[in-house]
Structure 1
Amino acid sequence: MYADNFKLDDYCHRIRFSGELKPDFATVKALMQQHLRTIPFENLNVLAGKAISLKPEDIVDKLIHQRRGGYCYEMNGLFALALTALGLEYQWVAARPLFYPVRRPRTHAALIVELEGVEWLLDLGFGSYGIREPMRLDLLNQPVKQGYDQFILSQEADGDLAVQALVDGVWIKQYGFNRNPVEWVDFAPANWMNSTHPEAIFTQKNVIVLFTATGRKLLFGQLFKEYKAGQVSQITVQAEQIGPVLEQEFNLIKPMHV
């Protein structure tokens, strides 16, 4: 994946990363963590009725130059550009969300990259219970602690690998994926569905997430939650308070008509 307007220095400035840049695990992990803590997962353009572009240059302009966030295609798309700039190859995977009561199509985009002889799952765009750092693909059924969160990778009956998160003491399946080849263009139908279908969660309410060093902040509809060191607090945000909350907690400016 390539964009004419992507510069690694601009990306590092956007995510406030000042470390050494190498095509290794330590760099990729650090970039992923900084990205999650500075660029929010958000669906404000969807709620405003604006098309979500998958053109790489548009993603760069929105997330870096406009200092906005995005959802999975935009968040992982931008990270894919950073991987390319580092000289790293990656594979796209199309994942099926598993927490819905009915079977859903493979609408989620994530990445796999090989670093120092090990394959890792990279995902910066799943929202509240998304992984916080690269996750090994060769460790099945072994809980992995990432900060104050825990995840596990399991094998499904259909052959997929499933990412599970420990939520309130219960393992909840988040999504499943396989190694079937996927190209960037293959996400166009899923992007259209997620941004226009009336039953898609992103067309119904705010879904804003920003990771922190000890947890994450989440605005879901009018419910604001903050997870901090394993503890959670929540408040209901009135409609007139949405704008200030977006700006103060997520460093976002609310678009018109949202």
Structure 2
Amino acid sequence: MKKLNSLFHKRIGMLENEKITFEKLADVLEKTAQNIPFENLNIIANKTCDITKENLIDKILERNEGGLCYELNTLFYFYLMENGFNATLASGVVYNHSAQEYTKVGRTHVTILFNHKDQIYLIDTGFGSNLPLKPVPLSGETISSNNGEFRIKKVNSELGDYVLEMKLKHKDTEWKIGYIFDSRKPILDAANLNEIQTIIEEHPESSFNKNPLITRLTNNGNITLTNTTFTQWVDGNVSKETIDYVKFKELAKQHFRM
């Protein structure tokens, strides 16, 4: 097995030489969501580096850190490619529900599209706690997972041609927009990814360059840690604790091994 596969499986708790098929992707995605956190600590600490396969392996699989969408999904894209899947990276714009509009930072969400038996699917391991946990077909079919219901709707917009919609378990009663993406404009090289990283680092309206954030899914919900709060969702029940920086460091180590 190649280095990436072996390290990835070790990180998420799978057999290092296990062969991955389409049918096993849901299990891989769930394990990934529970073991590799979505986090922005390097952005906050001003310690980012170029987005390359080698740097992502070092950061996420050898140093056991997490990352944002352009890191987590790019690493998973490389993992899919090494396992024989026909995958591409695509960019999108996240919907800001409080403002009722797409975010002003623009096309900074990175996601994955892949082809299986003449059907195109979306996979996302880098959308915070809003992860489908299964491949979502672009055909519009609704998929259900431990994290809720997800579907993709065809649209005609200058921002993209498809929208990911979601109804999160224990949180949503109506469908809501996750993000819009463009299947016709794949990300072709690392320069695009590094541009996205720079925007997220520097844009005044970026939500990831102001305060630390770490989140991951659990067996029965999710946990989210900032420098001021620790929030836990357990079987639909939420608890929120106010914390200080010392407690932040303790909880980051306890719950995220960071």
Do these two structures clear the TM 0.5 threshold for a shared fold by scoring above it? Answer: yes
Aligned residue number for residue 165 of structure 1: 166
Would you say 1:17 and 2:23 are equivalent positions? no
Say if 1:21 and 1:86, in contact at 8 Å, map to a contact too. no
CA distance in 1 between counterparts of 2:29 and 2:107 reads 23
Would you say 1:62 and 2:66 are equivalent positions? no
Say if 1:206 and 1:222, in contact at 8 Å, map to a contact too. no
Aligned residue number for residue 111 of structure 1: 112
CA distance in 2 between counterparts of 1:230 and 1:19 reads 34
Instruction: Select 2:189's aligned residue among 148, 163, 184.
Output: 184
SS at match of 1:201: coil
How much has 1:148 moved relative to structure 2?
Answer: 4.2
- Which deviates more, 40-49 or 212-221? 212-221
How much has 1:157 moved relative to structure 2?
Answer: 4.3
Structure whose residues are more often strand by fraction: 2
CA distance in 2 between counterparts of 1:110 and 1:218 reads 21
Aligned residue number for residue 241 of structure 2: 235
- Which deviates more, 98-107 or 204-213? 98-107
Aligned length: 246
Determine what percentage of the aligned residue pairs are the same residue. 24
Root mean square deviation of aligned Cα: 2.1
Aligned residue number for residue 154 of structure 2: 155
The unaligned stretches of length 5 or more in structure 2 are none
Aligned residue number for residue 44 of structure 1: 41
Say if 2:69 and 2:126, in contact at 8 Å, map to a contact too. yes
How much has 1:154 moved relative to structure 2?
Answer: 2.3
Q: Which amino acid aligns with 1:232?
A: V
CA distance in 2 between counterparts of 1:110 and 1:118 reads 17
The unaligned stretches of length 5 or more in structure 1 are 253-258
- Normalising by the residue count of structure 2, what TM-score does the alignment of the two structures yield? 0.86
- When residues 60 and 99 of structure 1 are mapped into structure 2, their CA distance, relative to the original with a 3 A threshold, is same
Say if 1:155 and 1:162, in contact at 8 Å, map to a contact too. yes
How much has 1:168 moved relative to structure 2?
Answer: 3.5
Say if 1:41 and 1:125, in contact at 8 Å, map to a contact too. yes
Say if 2:228 and 2:248, in contact at 8 Å, map to a contact too. yes
- Normalising by the residue count of structure 1, what TM-score does the alignment of the two structures yield? 0.86
SS at match of 1:110: strand
Q: Which amino acid aligns with 1:180?
A: R
Would you say 1:76 and 2:80 are equivalent positions? no
- Which deviates more, 5-14 or 85-94? 5-14
Aligned residue number for residue 248 of structure 1: 254
SS at match of 2:27: helix
CA distance in 1 between counterparts of 2:46 and 2:137 reads 37
Say if 1:148 and 1:229, in contact at 8 Å, map to a contact too. no
Would you say 1:128 and 2:129 are equivalent positions? yes
How much has 1:213 moved relative to structure 2?
Answer: 2.1
Instruction: Select 2:4's aligned residue among 2, 7, 13.
Output: 7
